[in-house]
Amino acid sequence: MEKLAEVSEPEVRIDFVLGSKCRANVRLRSLSGTSPVAFKVQTSSPHKFLVNPPSGLIEPLSYATFQVILKPQSQLPQTFPRSPSDRFLVKTALAPEFSTNSPESTHPESINSWFNHRDSTHDVKLKVAFVGPFLLRHAVTNGDLNAVRNIIKRQRSILPELTTREAESLVRVAAELENSEDMVRLLVEAGLRANARTRSGDVSEAAWVSKGWTGLHVAAAFDRTGEISSLVMESEEQKPLDCRDKEGRTPLHLAVSNGYERCARVLVGAGADVNARSKDGRTALYRAAAAGDRRMVEMLIEFGADPTIGSIDCGRSALDVARDKGHKEVIEILERGEAVLDAARRGDLKHLQLLLDQDASVSFHDQYGLTALHIAAIKGHKDAVMMLAELGSDLECRDNEEHTPLHLAVEGGHVETVEVLINRGANVNSRSNKGATPLYAARAMGYDDITQLLVERGASSSLPSTSSSSLSSIL
């Protein structure tokens, strides 16, 4: 049957207050261009609701409004905002025999009597949703994120329209929750005024002081890239990039956990420790892998994130957790990284090229900090070294002992590979964490040809400061 009328919203949204009569208006629009449309409203819960008027006429292509009245309730709705047991049915039918100008024909009793003899009507179904500040505060107090989110979704203006006192009170309640981080983020992003004051300071302070958050934590949690840049510049000498909250999380952890790639990139680019671990031992990469965030994983690997670091609570790595959760794209990225290391180890140029063509990272490294360039260098695969260098591998990348690829090419005794690295711009005077230079290693290991090459290319002959150490401990 052709639709005769429509409502502006599919729900009756009632601003609920305990113990008070609550009202909501419903607007009907006629879709008939020729005849009046009669309507009659029925409810599944007549013990709770009144409708005024319960019936009426709508002129062609015009509007009519009826009011739903919730009787004073002594208890909260069993579920909210949606109420599965409360519904309204609006029956409509063409009524050419009625005149909207006649008081008799528009009287509810006349229309009700007329509907009783109608075999066919077009029905409009309405659901009920309970919203409003009273229920919002109740949901916040209980830490019910889903209820808060669904109230805000249905009532967009609810937070911006709160008074300063109401906003302050809501923040204080949210800040005391176990899930305060998620709750306050939801409220602020939905429009809770960020300039509301509390007794201890502003919204950010009230919300985050109990979590041990700094201004940089807050900026990272709310995707405020410009604010992060300003904070980093203002505090350049103090370097607060890796400040910790009470759970041991850095601002980078928060940016990554929330999927804020730009914020994370700014933090890492400014020098944040990409492998910092929170108290549970989880790194930013672990969190990104657990969330299945492919772009974030790629970015962190690009900046040298260690995929082998395991969490304290379960000892599993980023790749392990990605496999557990079935995040195929993240698994492929991390497995391609391992495959790059294996191809470099074997000097398999064809496979290495294939992997790099698939956007595998040249910055991926193993638990010892060895990248593909380190491995190709120590194995003497000079063609693989050239390929990796041409594709952007960092010639000064360091393993866990601060060895560069040049150090390892020297230790492997591969003069041609050493020459390739030097020709590409490798620093001939780089030092390991024990102070050993490539030249020192070449002399100590009796590689005369490499020693001569290094000297010719400007290598310094100074010795490590720990001269009393054994050769193995220095190298």
Q: Are residues 178 and 85 in the same domain?
A: no
Spell out the residues 6+ positions from residue 231 whose beta carbon is closer than 8 angstroms to its own: 215, 216, 219, 240
Q: Which of 211, 230, 257 is the last residue of a domain?
A: 211
Burial of 319 (0-12, 13-18, 19+ CB in 10 A): buried
Q: Are residues 113 and 14 in the same domain?
A: yes
In a domain, 206, yes or no: yes
Q: Are residues 378 and 421 in the same domain?
A: yes
Query: Among 276, 281, 235, 279, which residue's Cα sits nearest to residue 252?
Result: 276
In a domain, 120, yes or no: yes
Whether the CB-CB separation of 355 and 345 falls below 8 Å is answered with: no
Q: What is the mean pLDDT of residues 262-288?
A: 92
- Cα-based torsion angle of the residue sequence 92, 97, 99, 105 in order, rounded to the nearest 10 degrees: -80
b/e sequence 277-291, b meaning 16+ C-beta within 10 Å = bbeebbbbbbbbbbb
Q: Are residues 417 and 438 in the same domain?
A: yes
Question: Cα 424 to chain center, whole Å?
Answer: 40
Lowest model confidence (mean pLDDT) among 280-294, 350-364, 410-424, 445-459: 350-364
Tell me the pLDDT of the chain averaged across its residues. Answer: 85
In a domain, 274, yes or no: no
In a domain, 337, yes or no: no
CATH number of the domain within which 49 lies: 2.60.40.10
CATH number of the domain within which 380 lies: 1.25.40.20
Q: Which of 68, 98, 130 is the last residue of a domain?
A: 130
Q: Are residues 374 and 438 in the same domain?
A: yes
- Residue 397 tokens read as 């990348």
Q: Give the chain's domain count.
A: 3
Segment (H or E) for 264: helix 261-269
What would the pLDDT profile of 166-223 be if each residue is shown by its tens digit?
A: 887 888 788 788 777 788 878 877 777 644 444 444 555 556 666 788 888 888 887 8
Q: Are residues 137 and 113 in the same domain?
A: no
The overall longest dimension of the chain from CA atoms, in Å, is 115
Entry pTM: 0.54
Which letter does DSSP use for residue 63 in this model? E
Q: Are residues 45 and 148 in the same domain?
A: no
In a domain, 113, yes or no: yes
- CA 8, CA 124: separation in Å to the nearest integer? 11
Categorize the per-residue pLDDT at 467 as very low, low, confident or very high, splitting at 50, 70 and 90.
Answer: very low
Helices (H), 176-271: 180-189, 203-208, 215-221, 225-234, 251-257, 261-269
* Of 202 and 79, more confident: 79
In a domain, 430, yes or no: yes
Q: Are residues 95 and 164 in the same domain?
A: no
What would the pLDDT profile of 280-327 be if each residue is shown by its tens digit?
A: 999 999 999 999 999 999 899 888 888 888 776 667 889 889 999 999
- CA 150, CA 407: separation in Å to the nearest integer? 59
Q: Are residues 123 and 181 in the same domain?
A: no
What would the pLDDT profile of 122-171 be if each residue is shown by its tens digit?
A: 899 999 999 999 999 999 999 999 999 999 999 988 888 888 778 878 88
Give one DSSP letter per residue of 289-330, joined into a string: HHHT-HHHHHHHHHTT--TTPPPTTT---HHHHHHHHT-HHH
- Residue 42 tokens read as 């029925």
Determine the pLDDT at residue 137: 93
Determine the pLDDT at residue 375: 94
Determine the pLDDT at residue 471: 47
Determine the pLDDT at residue 194: 47
Determine the pLDDT at residue 470: 45
* Of 107 and 2, more confident: 2
Is residue 348 predicted with pLDDT exceeding 70?
yes
In a domain, 236, yes or no: no
Q: Are residues 401 and 445 in the same domain?
A: yes
Domain ranges, residue 442: 369-474
Q: Which of 70, 104, 130 is the last residue of a domain?
A: 130
Segment (H or E) for 89: strand 82-94
Determine the pLDDT at residue 207: 61
Categorize the per-residue pLDDT at 111 as very low, low, confident or very high, splitting at 50, 70 and 90.
Answer: confident
